[in-house]
Amino acid sequence: MADIYTEKVKDHFFNPRNVGEIKDADGVGTVGNPTCGDVMTVYIKVKNDKIKDIKFKTYGCAAAIASSSIGTEIVKGKTLDEAMKLSRDDIANELGGLPAIKMHCSNLFSDAIRKAIKDYRKRIK
Q: Is 101 in the site for other proteins (CB under 8 A)?
A: yes
Residue (of 75, 88, 95, 66) closest to 27 by Cα position: 75
Residues 6+ apart with CB under 8 A from 25: 43, 44, 45, 55, 116
In the bound state with other proteins, the residue whose beta carbon lies nearer, of 102 and 114, is 102
Of 24, 35, 100, 124, the one binding other proteins (CB under 8 A) is 35
Task: Confirm or reject binding of residue 37 to other proteins (CB under 8 A).
Answer: yes
Q: Is residue 61 flagged as an active site residue?
A: no
> Considering the rule CB under 8 A, would residue 41 count as an interface residue with other proteins?
yes
Report the DSSP beta bridge partners of residue 31: 40
Spacing of C-alpha 59 from chain mean position: 12
Q: Is 67 in the site for other proteins (CB under 8 A)?
A: no
Q: Which is nearer to other proteins, 39 or 74 (CB)?
A: 39
